[in-house]
Amino acid sequence: MSIIGVGIDVAEIDRFQAALKRTPGMAERLFLERELLLPSGERRGIASLAARFAAKEALAKALGAPSGLLWTDAEVFVEGSGQPRLRVKGTVAARAAELGVRSWHVSLSHDAGVASAVVIAEG
């Protein structure tokens, strides 16, 4: 296995929240319904959503930032162990296959008003 790409991104949480409030339907264009909700069914907090947005940006960077990727073709989810993971389909899966990506590593964080994510594409 070798590293095919690495991406990192940060999102200012208050700015991300303001963008969601200012643009109706933005959350639904960025996230799948199951990304918007906690396992309990409650709406996910803004810091968590900002970290997921940063992960999707980092994922695009790890793939070389090609045009035409759909936000909802990448899903950030958490395994039972608490480890964040990526699930890809459609445009994102096609680009990953083109580059030979076979697995993903993702790390999410948020603190002091900033959310961040790192994504490593491995093949």
Query: What is the C-alpha to C-alpha distance for residues 104 and 122, in angstroms, rounded to an integer?
Result: 6
Which residues participate in the annotated binding site? 9, 57
Which residues participate in the annotated binding site for Mg(2+)? 9, 57
